[in-house]
Structure 1
Amino acid sequence: MSKERLTFEFCDRLVEDFEKVIEHPIVGKSSVYYTGVDLGTACVVLAVLDENYRPAAGAYRYADVVRDGMVVDYIGAVNLVREMKRELEEKLGTELTFAAAAIPPGTETIDSGAVKNVVQAAGFELTNLLDEPTAANEVLKMQNGAIVDIGGGTTGISILVGGKVDYVEDEPTGGTHFSLVISGAYKLPFAEADQYKRNPKNHKELLPVLKPVIEKISSIITRHVTGYDVKEISLVGGTACLAGIEEIIEKRTGIYTHKPKNPLFVTPLGIALSCTQEIMD
């Protein structure tokens, strides 16, 4: 069995364990808990790990407090994270103190302060603030390849060389575009189209409808990996949950494409793995 396959098994197992604790939190005697706060464009996720960095609890909410990786509703974001924090504290019977967060690559000087302030205003002590592809790779553990984060508004391509992010780019095309296509094809209001897209039972039917957008995403990937020796792609982000998307991308790019179990949770788990007890200044 190849090393790459083993690392992806680690990722899938961690995601699977996290899905279980969302429904059934593990209430134990952990001396400390580490929380990853992922402020996504369509979904906010909190991932809680125990002292051994194993999944203990989690929660997620679909919300419109972030657009294209930027916080656009600060008060709404604070209230939402605070509410989810309180909910998880009640389930675990303890206070959640330490948290890490992440920002889209290239937005450090624009939005890092807003994300930091949201997490702190919600009642956490912030211990780490890193870029999303680096966080995702805490789980994927890729050495050489591309992490493609298909979010609500954009697709981010991060190329890894020797386990480090060497190149990043973000382009507008993502889940919002999927919903717009569904809205037009099915004559549905945007919000209903968005809900329809999230139901896995509809994915097989939607795949041919959304194929042109997926092919556009594939073209974006191909353009940005040109010049790099990329032999594998790993998909993360909520929009990558669409069943069959990885097959179209692999066919169009000609590059082996891996999709973790529930790619929505890869980045928040990586953020939590990056959390420590050393508070940031």
Structure 2
Amino acid sequence: MSENKLTFEYCDQLVRDFEEVIENPIKSKSSVYYTGVDLGTACVVVAVLDENFKPVAGAYQYADVVRDGMVVDYIGAINIVRKMKQDLEEKLDTELIYAAAAIPPGTESVDGGAVKNVVQAAGFEMTNLLDESTAANAVLQMQNGAVVDIGGGTTGISILKDGKVIYVADEPTGGTHFSLVISGAYGMEFQEADQYKRVDKNHKELLPILKPVVEKVASIITQHIKGYDVQEIALVGGTCCLTGIEGIIQKQTGVPTHKPQNPMFVTPLGIALSCKQESLD
């Protein structure tokens, strides 16, 4: 990964800047604001960039309005995004007009319209709808590698050649499975287990318990990258926040594996970077 070290430094710095403005929004005026709306299975994230594509504000909320990339609670999703939009507008003392969103690769005909409608119903002018892998790679900027998005219900793999997505796959196994294993191991209710895995200090204890599931994810990755010139793997998605997950995947796949500063924020930042100033037709 040496030749991409600077690229990943850019990614990690952008994420650090975004984490900072979630807590302390930058209120200086900008001629335009670019917003990225990421409707994740476990978490909805909104990222706001200024005219220079620098993070100025952001918010996130854990929610159960999307499952496996499909909007299952349409009204709930609209209400969450609208409230986040209003809160961010108040913090920035401005109106947020333009927004982009993303969907899992290959699902545009199935659910692209629903995601677009959620963003528009929340009060945004929708300017771009792209696949999540392309959005993530706007931040990662990989040339020949694989973006692995471990979501709530599935693991998505997108292979890039010369910076373009040439192959996509999406298979069951994700954060939900992690929570089910924790629930069984500790005798917890599912929601309690889901919360438990989000606490960083629990990760060292949880890693041995979750290792078989992580190895299953690694086997899925290995299966799909076979035959392609994958020089590196980048992990994105909230489930990848598990401390040590990248080491297991690298060992199993034999491919250098990078986990960004906070993998939950890579895709929403990429969506915001892909936002434009003209609405979709």
TM-score, structure 1 length as denominator?
0.99
What does residue range 124-273 of structure 1 map to in structure 2 within 5 Å? 124-273=124-273
Q: CA deviation at 1:176?
A: 0.2
What per-residue deviation string (whole Å, max 9, x for no partner) do you get for residues 69-109 of structure 1? 00000000000000000010010001100000000001010
Q: CA deviation at 1:3?
A: 3.3
Q: CA deviation at 1:29?
A: 1.3
Q: CA deviation at 1:231?
A: 1.4
What secondary structure is seen at the aligned counterpart in 2 of 1:78?
Answer: helix
What secondary structure is seen at the aligned counterpart in 2 of 1:85?
Answer: helix
Alignment-derived partner of residue 74 in structure 1? 74
Q: CA deviation at 1:169?
A: 0.2
Alignment-derived partner of residue 46 in structure 1? 46
The AA in structure 1 aligned to 2:203 is H
Identity, in percent, stands at 78
The AA in structure 1 aligned to 2:184 is G
Alignment-derived partner of residue 61 in structure 2? 61
Alignment-derived partner of residue 13 in structure 1? 13
Q: CA deviation at 1:208?
A: 0.2
* Counterpart Cα distance in 2 of 1:228 and 1:143: 13
Q: CA deviation at 1:2?
A: 4.0
* Counterpart Cα distance in 2 of 1:147 and 1:39: 18
Q: CA deviation at 1:31?
A: 1.1
What secondary structure is seen at the aligned counterpart in 2 of 1:53?
Answer: coil
Q: How many residues are treated as equivalent by the alignment? A: 281
* Counterpart Cα distance in 1 of 2:181 and 2:114: 31
What secondary structure is seen at the aligned counterpart in 2 of 1:198?
Answer: coil
* Counterpart Cα distance in 2 of 1:12 and 1:73: 32
The AA in structure 2 aligned to 1:94 is T
* Counterpart Cα distance in 2 of 1:56 and 1:2: 30
* Counterpart Cα distance in 1 of 2:85 and 2:189: 32
What secondary structure is seen at the aligned counterpart in 2 of 1:64?
Answer: coil
1:89 lines up with 2:105 in the alignment: no
The AA in structure 1 aligned to 2:238 is G
What per-residue deviation string (whole Å, max 9, x for no partner) do you get for residues 97-144 of structure 1? 000000000101000000000000000000000000000000000000
Alignment-derived partner of residue 116 in structure 2? 116
* Counterpart Cα distance in 1 of 2:244 and 2:207: 7
TM-score, structure 2 length as denominator?
0.99
* Counterpart Cα distance in 2 of 1:29 and 1:98: 16
The AA in structure 1 aligned to 2:145 is G
* Counterpart Cα distance in 2 of 1:134 and 1:271: 9
The AA in structure 2 aligned to 1:106 is G
* Counterpart Cα distance in 2 of 1:194 and 1:123: 31
Q: CA deviation at 1:184?
A: 0.3
> Please, which runs of 5 or more residues in structure 2 have no aligned partner?
none
Root mean square deviation of aligned Cα: 0.7
The AA in structure 2 aligned to 1:14 is L
> Please, which runs of 5 or more residues in structure 1 have no aligned partner?
none
What per-residue deviation string (whole Å, max 9, x for no partner) do you get for residues 211-243 of structure 1? 000000000000000010111000000000000
* Counterpart Cα distance in 2 of 1:272 and 1:81: 15
* Counterpart Cα distance in 2 of 1:205 and 1:29: 45
The AA in structure 2 aligned to 1:278 is E
The AA in structure 1 aligned to 2:209 is V
Alignment-derived partner of residue 101 in structure 2? 101
